[in-house]
Amino acid sequence: MIRKTDLNMVPLNAPAGAGAQCAHRGNVDSVFAAGDPVKRDGRMIHTDNRKLRQLADEARNHIFSSCGNPDNAWLI
């Protein structure tokens, strides 16, 4: 479900067009998959964000150790 009250969505003249042309992920309030809520009130539920960040860091480190990181340009 997309919030139609966010500033980038007003004035809402054509809902389908606004959803296709103006909406972005920040406007998504709720997502359901197979009837189960995945996102509510703009926040993902049933996710372990700490674990996701850890996996992303490990993937980045693996890529840099395998492919190199010229000038340490991307390590933050």
What pLDDT sits at residue 47? 86
Q: Considering its fold, how many domains does the chain have in total?
A: 2
Give residue 39's region: left, alpha or beta (phi > 0; psi -120 to 50). beta
Which pLDDT band, with edges at 50, 70 and 90, does 74 fall under? Answer: low
The verdict on 35 and 67 lying in the same domain is: no
Q: Give the C-alpha separation, 1 to 39, whole Å.
A: 10
My answer on whether 18 and 54 are in the same domain is no
pTM of the model: 0.56
Residues 27, 8 contacting (CB under 8 angstroms): yes
Does one domain contain both 34 and 2? yes
For residue range 5-63, list pLDDT tens digits in order. 899 998 888 888 888 888 998 999 999 999 999 999 999 898 898 999 999 999 988 98
Residues 20 and 53 occupy one common structural domain: no
Domain coverage including residue 72: 47-76
pLDDT of residue 31: 94
Residue 75 is predicted with a pLDDT of: 62
